[in-house]
Amino acid sequence: MKNAGRSTRALWAGEEEPHAYGAAQMPLVPAISFGYETVEEWRDVALMKRPGHIYSRNTNPTVALLEEKVRSLEEAEAAVSFSSGMAAISNTLYSLVKPGERVVSITDTYGGTNRVFVEFLPKIGVEVSLVSTDDEAAILAEIAKGCRLLYLETPTNPTLKVVDIAKLAAAGKAVGAIVVTDNTVATPINQNPLALGSDLVIHSASKFLCGHGDALGGILCGTKELVRHVYEYREINGAVLEPFSAYLIARGLKTLSLRVERHNSNAMTVACFLENHAAVEQVFYPGLESNAGHAVAREQMRGFGGMLSFTLREGLEVASVMERLKLAHRAASLGHVETFAGIPATTSHVECTAEQRAAMGIPERLIRYSVGIEDVADLVADLGQALVGSSL
Ligand SMILES: Cc1ncc(COP(=O)(O)O)c(C=O)c1O
């Protein structure tokens, strides 16, 4: 798969060898235990002297197949999966950072991640310094003070801010930090943080990787050494991805590249439509030239992604506009084939109070719109009727 393109990798990585029975599709193996004829063989597998599986809290063939596909797409040395994106994030942080050490991150990480930073890590004596995502100089200054781990997310959820991975990762490396990037919103089709200097990349696989909103999962990719370290923690912590979810995510992944192409182009069309609409105050999408992160996004992304958000002008009812949308699930989550719309208080930052959201610069009048792969003319027409219905 070394020289293959991303569409080919998504299809064939982990499936180069024939499957059992000559099956032309990947196997779903729900077994939790794997048996051996001889004790010697069993012991060799357990000691990793030969390939094989022992127990599905450690490894499982279907789960390993998914890990191999994402590893290949991120061009990483190794990958390990988890029961959800938050399990990937918390297992990574808890296993790599000790009491007394310091983490630097940005204020706009996903709400669940932010809670780990403001509530959970400080409880175990980890110092966390969160810096305004817009203030690159301040982020660099905090990194320069020294830290064990630098945690980035770009584009952010829900305001799609972009940080310069290469610049910040270089600064992190200079002080000996492990650099971790949440790549959920971009996907490995649009962006590869490892190629930009990040040591580890995290995905909520529940989003674009799966794409169909029917399985929760998380994946971490990076160097063999770091991934192995986190794997050993997860092995005992037990936040393991179960095989049926791995199967669904791997099946979804096979069309990731096609889906993301469509998400990218639909989102660009919708963003331009919204930017020129009288009812809309501001559109947040890194593909727009007016966006503060556009120049960096052009450098580090191959496509601008399928998620955007926008604020309504004063006097317009967010709930009414949301409720008039016909081609959008009013539901949490993003990155699925259908369009989803939500407000941060019910989606990305449901874990936070209104004051915390305000402190993070997340407007309460923001609508997050995860653009699906519908015909874009239908999405534009739907948004048009929902916004025209607002009392302009
Ligand atoms: C950017 C980002 N990272 C992580 C997560 C957490 O993922 P999960 O819901 O799979 O735990 C989310 C969920 O919305 C997310 O948007």
318 residue type, one letter: V
d(CA 311, ligand 1 centre) in Å: 22
Pocket test for ligand 1, best of 82, 84, 110, 209 (most atoms within 8 A of CB): 110
Strand partners, 220: 80, 202
Mention every residue, 6+ apart, whose C-beta is less than 8 A from residue 24. none
The string of pLDDT tens digits covering residues 208-227 is 999 999 999 999 999 999 99
Tell me: pLDDT of 390 over 60.
no
Tell me: pLDDT of 392 over 60.
no
Which pLDDT belongs to residue 362? Answer: 82
Tell me: pLDDT of 341 over 50.
yes
d(CA 233, ligand 1 centre) in Å: 20
Mean pLDDT of 25-47: 97
Looking from the CA of residue 185, the nearest atom of ligand 1 is 1
Which pLDDT belongs to residue 358? Answer: 83
d(CA 292, ligand 1 centre) in Å: 24
pLDDT band at 234; cut points 50, 70, 90: very high
Instruction: Report residue 369 as tokens.
Output: 């719109």
Tell me: pLDDT of 3 over 80.
yes
Which pLDDT belongs to residue 118? Answer: 95
CA-nearest residue, atom 7 of ligand 1 = 85
Mean pLDDT of 46-51: 94
Tell me: pLDDT of 166 over 50.
yes
Q: From CA 169, how far away is CA 179, in angstroms rounded?
A: 6
What proportion of the chain, given as a percentage, has pLDDT over 90?
A: 91
Determine contact, residues 236/347, Cβ cutoff 8 Å.
Answer: no
The string of pLDDT tens digits covering residues 64-78 is 999 999 999 999 999
CA-nearest residue, atom 15 of ligand 1 = 110
In the chain, what are the domains? 6-253 (3.40.640.10), 257-388 (3.90.1150.10)
Which pLDDT belongs to residue 77? Answer: 98
Which pLDDT belongs to residue 31? Answer: 98
CA-nearest residue, atom 6 of ligand 1 = 85
d(CA 133, ligand 1 centre) in Å: 18
User: Which CA distances in Å does 388 have to 95, 157, 210, 234, 384?
Assistant: 51, 27, 34, 50, 6
Which pLDDT belongs to residue 344? Answer: 86
CA-nearest residue, atom 10 of ligand 1 = 85
Tell me: pLDDT of 18 over 50.
yes
The string of pLDDT tens digits covering residues 294-324 is 999 999 999 999 999 999 998 889 999 999 9
For the entire predicted model, the pTM comes to 0.96
Looking from the CA of residue 332, the nearest atom of ligand 1 is 14
The helix (run of H) or strand (run of E) holding residue 171 is helix 165-174
Torsion of CA 111, 113, 118, 120, to 10 degrees: 130
DSSP collapsed to 3 states, 55-77: ECCCCCHHHHHHHHHHHHHCCCC
The string of pLDDT tens digits covering residues 322-333 is 999 999 999 999
Instruction: Report residue 165 as tokens.
Output: 């991975």
Burial of 345 (0-12, 13-18, 19+ CB in 10 A): middle
d(CA 294, ligand 1 centre) in Å: 23
d(CA 207, ligand 1 centre) in Å: 8
Pocket test for ligand 1, best of 105, 114, 180, 184 (most atoms within 8 A of CB): 184
The string of pLDDT tens digits covering residues 266-278 is 999 999 999 999 9
| Ligand 1 binding pocket, CB closer than 6 Å | 84-86, 110, 112, 153, 157, 182, 184-185, 204, 206, 216, 218, 348
pLDDT band at 357; cut points 50, 70, 90: confident
Average predicted confidence (pLDDT) for the chain: 96
The string of pLDDT tens digits covering residues 90-124 is 999 999 999 999 999 999 999 999 999 999 999 99
Looking from the CA of residue 347, the nearest atom of ligand 1 is 14
Q: Which residues have a catalytic role annotated?
A: 57, 110, 182, 207
d(CA 382, ligand 1 centre) in Å: 27
Mention every residue, 6+ apart, whose C-beta is less than 8 A from residue 88. 81, 82, 202, 203, 204, 218, 219, 220
Looking from the CA of residue 218, the nearest atom of ligand 1 is 10
